Amino acid sequence: MRKVVLTSVLLSILLTTLVSQPAPKFSIDLPLARYKVSSPFGFRAPFMGGYDNLTVHKGVDLIDPDTKKNVQVLAAIDGVVVVRALRDPLYGKCVLLKSWDPVLQMNVYTLYGHMSLLKVRLGQHVTQGQTIGIEGSTGVSTGPHVHFEVLFDPMEYISAIRMRYALDNWAGLH
What residues contact 86, with CB distance under 8 A and at least 6 apart? 93, 118
Q: What is the pLDDT of residue 115?
A: 98
What is the mean pLDDT of the segment spanning 100-113? 86
Position 5 confidence tier, pLDDT thresholds 50, 70, 90: very low
Burial of 30 (0-12, 13-18, 19+ CB in 10 A): middle
Q: Where are the domains of the chain?
A: 28-173
Q: Are 136 and 92 in contact (CB under 8 A)?
A: yes
Report yes or no on whether pTM surpasses 0.85.
no
Mean pLDDT for 124-135 is 97
Position 43 scores a pLDDT of 84
Architecture of domain 28-173 in CATH?
Distorted Sandwich (2.70)
Cα separation, 100 vs 34, whole angstroms: 25
**Which amino acid is present at 29?**
D
SS3 11: helix
Task: Classify the phi-psi angles of 62: left when phi > 0, otherwise alpha if psi is within -120 to 50, otherwise beta.
Answer: beta
* pLDDT the model gives residue 122: 98
Mean pLDDT of the chain: 82
